[in-house]
């Protein structure tokens, strides 16, 4: 079967498996269901192999979807290998407490084209296609916004930014120069989908570095643009017990890759493949991606795909009884995670 259909179905089924735990106030259950769905859907697929480059996280010692795990047709030496970055559920906390901001997502590219990112912070600027040649993150976010405003000849650009204390000063500055700011609690990958779908002009903020590969893939696949730079843990959490340990790991990784916190990383530095593909499905979602719903034995899933500058938004219906009769792997998940 076509690899794209398999990956699209994987994120959709991961959202369906996690649906049971929306609002249950346990983000670990949300994540566990999605991780198992990914594993079940991908571990035995034929015709290709997926290598996890950015997965469940090196700090968590994840038993599944861990970095360098191989999925798919692993016993066939002729199967092509693809790199993947995966976030089974971006926004487990929004899902656990039933507010907007959670999706299931995966990005794929040719072998050895995806950069394995450390578990650290990253400053990211993701802009719509009109600003591909406008931005330069080295100039600072305000100067970039002023250039975009000048290009548009208007001030009321629409920005999405995480509502975190580290962004409060920037939010104030953006408001002063006329930007329409939409605050979110979680989910800068989801926010980037909104930019692609025309719901916002840009996303800015300091979030997770591994998610940067997902956003880079989305930027390349959709014809948009992302620039980023790494941010040391002690800049965000200077007084935490784990700060020193994490800082040492971060510095070692940056030295190995000849990258420092002044290095501006283009999207192509993170995913060096113009044929990269990006997939997502809404859980509690928000913005242009709608939340999953269930009614009378059917799941209604809103999904998204981007590749080669082509953007697709899907409305998919999973009729549980019909699917159970045709797909035993999905039936297993439907039975285990039925509402």
CATH of the domain at 258: 3.40.190.90
Instruction: Yes or no: say if 201 and 145 are a contact pair by the CB < 8 Å rule.
Output: no
Give the Cβ contact number of residue 43 at 10 Å. 15
User: 335 falls in which pLDDT band (50, 70, 90)?
Assistant: confident
Q: Is 216 found in the same domain as 173?
A: yes
* Domain enclosing residue 171, as ranges: 121-270
Q: Residues 148, 251: one domain? A: yes
How many Å apart are CA 192 and CA 179, to the nearest integer?
17
Instruction: Using CA atoms of 127, 129, 132, 137 in order, give the dihedral in degrees to the nearest 10.
Output: 0
Residue 338 has pLDDT above 90, yes or no: no
Confidence of residue 57 (pLDDT cuts 50, 70, 90): low
151 and 250 assigned to the same domain:
yes
Exposure string over 20-29, b if 16+ CB within 10 A, otherwise e: ebbeeeebeb
Taking CA atoms, 189 is separated from 20, 104, 151, 158, 270, in Å, by 23, 10, 25, 16, 15
Going by C-alpha positions, the residue among 257, 266, 272 that lies closest to residue 109 is 272
The answer on 196 and 150 residing in a single domain is: yes
Mean pLDDT of all residues belonging to the chain: 94
Residue with tokens 């530095």: 269
pLDDT, tens digit, 9 for 90 and up, residues 188-244: 999 999 999 999 999 999 999 999 999 999 999 999 999 999 999 999 999 899 999
Residue among 186, 248, 209, 218 at smallest CA distance from 311 = 218
**Is residue 270 a contact partner of residue 210, using CB atoms and an 8 Å limit?**
no
236-to-59, 164, 190 alpha-carbon distances in Å: 18, 11, 22
Q: What per-residue confidence (pLDDT) applies to 218?
A: 98
Whether residue 279 sits in one domain with residue 265: no
Name the band, by pLDDT with cuts 50, 70 and 90, for residue 124: very high
pLDDT for position 337: 84
Per-residue pLDDT, averaged over 141-154, amounts to 97
DSSP E strands, 43-120:
49-54, 70-72, 81-90, 103-110
Give the H or E element holding residue 5. Answer: helix 3-19
Report the residue count for the chain: 339
Is there a contact between 212 and 306 (Cβ–Cβ < 8 Å)? no
Say yes or no to pLDDT of 330 above 80: yes
Residues 83-104, mean pLDDT to the nearest whole number: 95
Same domain? 62 vs 155: no
Nearest to 282 by CA among 81, 95, 39: 95
Query: What's the domain count of the chain?
Result: 2
3-state secondary structure of 85: strand
Q: Please give the pLDDT value at position 329.
A: 85
Please report which confidence band the pLDDT of residue 326 belongs to, taking 50, 70 and 90 as the band edges: confident
Task: Decide which of 241, 270, 299 is a domain's last residue.
Answer: 270
Asked if pLDDT for residue 35 goes beyond 80, the answer is yes
Rounded average pLDDT over 36-54: 93
pLDDT in tens, 248-271: 999 999 999 999 999 999 999 999
Cα distances (Å, whole numbers) of residue 43 to 36, 48, 49, 50, 70: 10, 11, 9, 9, 8
We report the CATH number of the domain holding residue 314 as 3.30.540.10
Same domain, 261 and 292: no
The answer to whether 198 touches 224, Cβ cutoff 8 Å, is: no
Residues 144 and 236 in one domain: yes
- Per-residue pLDDT at 1 exceeds 70: no
> Are 71 and 171 within one domain?
no
Q: Of 56 and 208, which is predicted with more confidence?
A: 208
Assess whether 261 and 291 both reside in one domain.
no
Higher pLDDT, 334 or 25: 25
Pair (104, 125) in one structural domain: no
Distance CA 331, CA 321 (A): 9
Question: Mean per-residue pLDDT for 170-196?
Answer: 95
Has residue 58 got a pLDDT over 90?
no
Mean pLDDT of 184-190: 91
From 236, 251, 270, give the residue that closes a domain.
270
pLDDT recorded at residue 61? 53
Which among 248, 270, 292 is the end of a domain? Answer: 270
Residues 244 and 137 in one domain: yes
Neighbours of 277 (CB within 10 A): 24
Q: How confident is the model at residue 19 (pLDDT cuts 50, 70, 90)?
A: very high
């Amino acid at each position: 079967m076509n690899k794209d259909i398999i990956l699209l179905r994987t994120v959709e089924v991961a959202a369906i498996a996690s649906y049971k735990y929306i609002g249950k106030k346990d983000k670990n259950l949300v994540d566990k269901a999605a991780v198992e769905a990914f594993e079940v859907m991908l571990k035995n697929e034929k015709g290709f192999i997926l290598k996890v480059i950015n997965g469940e996280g090196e700090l968590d010692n994840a038993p599944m979807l861990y970095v360098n795990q191989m999925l798919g047709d692993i016993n066939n030496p002729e199967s092509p290998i693809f790199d993947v970055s995966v976030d089974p559920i971006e926004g487990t906390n929004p899902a656990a407490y039933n507010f907007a901001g959670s999706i299931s997502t995966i990005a794929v590219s040719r072998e050895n084209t995806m950069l394995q990112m450390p578990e650290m912070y990253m400053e990211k600027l993701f802009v719509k296609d009109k600003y591909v040649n406008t931005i330069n993150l080295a100039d600072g976010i305000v100067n970039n916004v002023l250039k975009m405003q000048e290009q548009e000849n208007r001030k009321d650009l629409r920005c999405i930014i995480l509502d975190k204390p580290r962004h409060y000063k920037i939010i104030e500055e953006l408001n002063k120069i006329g930007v329409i700011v939409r605050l979110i609690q979680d989910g800068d990958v989801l926010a980037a989908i909104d930019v692609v779908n025309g719901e916002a002009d840009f996303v800015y903020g300091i979030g997770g570095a591994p998610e940067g590969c997902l956003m880079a893939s989305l930027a390349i696949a959709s014809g948009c643009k992302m620039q980023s730079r790494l941010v040391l843990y002690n800049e965000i959490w200077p007084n935490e017990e784990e700060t020193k340990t994490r800082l040492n790991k971060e510095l070692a990784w940056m030295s190995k890759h000849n990258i420092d916190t002044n290095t501006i990383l283009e999207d192509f530095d993170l995913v060096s493949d113009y044929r990269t593909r990006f997939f997502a499905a809404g859980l509690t979602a928000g913005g242009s991606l709608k939340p999953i719903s269930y009614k009378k034995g059917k799941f209604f899933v809103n999904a998204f795909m981007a590749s080669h500058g082509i953007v697709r938004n899907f409305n998919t219906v999973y009729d549980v009884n019909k699917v159970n009769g045709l797909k035993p792997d999905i039936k297993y998940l439907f039975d285990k995670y039925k509402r």
